[in-house]
Amino acid sequence: MAQYSVANSSTSPTNPGYPSRRMLQRIRYLQNRRALASGGSWTPKLSVADIYGIKRETSLSRDDYMEEVDKQTYNDWEASDIHHRLVAFLEEHAGTTTQVDQIICFGLVSPVSSRHPRILRRAYTQHLAACTIRDLFARHQNSPAPKILAQDPRYTPIDMAYLSTHFSTTTLPDPEAFRALNGTTFVISISPDVPVRQVALGMTHDSGGPAGFLCCAIEDNGLGCKSVTMQNGEEVFRFTDNSSPGLWEFKQKGVWAEWDDLEGGEGRGLFWECGVLFEEEVRMGLLWNYWHGSRD
């Protein structure tokens, strides 16, 4: 499987492997947010000389910094190939799928408080994807926009406040998001630490499954799964959210397509190979296979 490339918008072109100025500013911003939360004060001068050994300084107000992070990450997502393909697919099919009243995200990781810039960018973008899906369903369904719920033990109070303010997302403690599952739920779960897809399918069995999935690819029925196996002469790594006969059947009943964003673009290192599964007028599922990098 391809390795993450450091030559992207999160790295410095003059210092390959180091975060860019924008990401360094984000790190300092988070440090100031934590200081404020603990009763400290905001540091207007954002010195980054002590981060990654890069001798550089910049000055940004809190509001200006916030605007910079939101704008750049949003623009990167909007310009990505995977965004265009996701939108095109949903534009075609969202009007004929089962009613979607809520979108529940499982294990998308902290979009603000992670210590790793690469993970921050990926998590932030995946939460943006949830908003994109919400907006598309709102436009094509004759009903209010689906609400977005999210559950991840990595969320900090800062993450929860940020998700509420900037993503209109309500965070739930474990296991409340599982209890909220029903037949009108669209599930988003990308390489979680528990078998979310199997649980979601089982808990919504009486409804024929959830309204849909955005998840890692369902490649088989899961019965031959091992931690590492061989496929076409290559090692294939298996993770905790394995497939099952029920999930495989869910896929086989639908119409699906696959793509990848390995040819370039701002999505590189975030999603990699993707697929779409749709059971028209019954259920929808999006199969999302991406680079399984280290997590917080």
Q: Which pLDDT tens digit goes with each residue over 267-295?
A: 444 554 555 555 554 455 665 544 333 34
Query: What pairing do the DSSP bridges indicate for beta strands 212-215 and 169-171?
Result: unpaired
Shared domain for 23 and 109, answered yes or no, is no
DSSP secondary structure, 155-215, as one string: --HHHHHHHHHHH-EEE--TTHHHHT--TTEEEEESS-SS-HHHHHHHHTGGGTS-SEEEE
Question: For a pLDDT cut of 70, what percent of the chain falls above it?
Answer: 57
Residue 5 included in any domain: no
Shared domain for 63 and 138, answered yes or no, is no
Q: What's the confidence (pLDDT) of residue 94?
A: 84
Question: For a pLDDT cut of 90, what percent of the chain falls above it?
Answer: 27
Shared domain for 136 and 266, answered yes or no, is yes
Q: What's the confidence (pLDDT) of residue 131?
A: 96
Start-to-end C-alpha separation, the chain: 21
Q: What's the confidence (pLDDT) of residue 81?
A: 83
Shared domain for 260 and 124, answered yes or no, is yes
Q: Evaluate whether 120 touches 111 at the Cβ level (below 8 Å).
A: yes
| CA-closest candidate to residue 106, choices 188, 184, 210, 217 | 188
Determine the Cα–Cα distance for residues 240 and 220; give it in Å rounded to an integer: 15
Residue 202 included in any domain: yes
Shared domain for 95 and 172, answered yes or no, is yes
Last residue of a domain, one of 67, 95, 110: 67
Q: What's the confidence (pLDDT) of residue 246?
A: 87
Shared domain for 128 and 210, answered yes or no, is yes
Q: What's the DSSP call for residue 265?
A: S
Q: What's the DSSP call for residue 257?
A: E
Shared domain for 57 and 113, answered yes or no, is no
Shared domain for 93 and 26, answered yes or no, is no
Residues 117-139 have a mean pLDDT of 89
Shared domain for 54 and 91, answered yes or no, is no
Residues 149-171 have a mean pLDDT of 94
Residue 173 included in any domain: yes
Confidence class for position 151, pLDDT limits 50, 70, 90: very high
Q: Which pLDDT tens digit goes with each residue over 178-206?
A: 999 999 999 998 878 899 989 999 999 99
Shared domain for 20 and 100, answered yes or no, is no
Q: Evaluate whether 117 touches 10 at the Cβ level (below 8 Å).
A: yes
Shared domain for 87 and 53, answered yes or no, is no
Count of the separate structural domains present in the chain: 2
Residues 42-69 have a mean pLDDT of 44
Please report where in the chains the tokens 């905001």 appear, as a residue: 42
Shared domain for 15 and 152, answered yes or no, is no
The mean predicted confidence, pLDDT, of the chain is 72
Domain range for 60: 11-67
Please tell me the pTM assigned to this model.
0.71
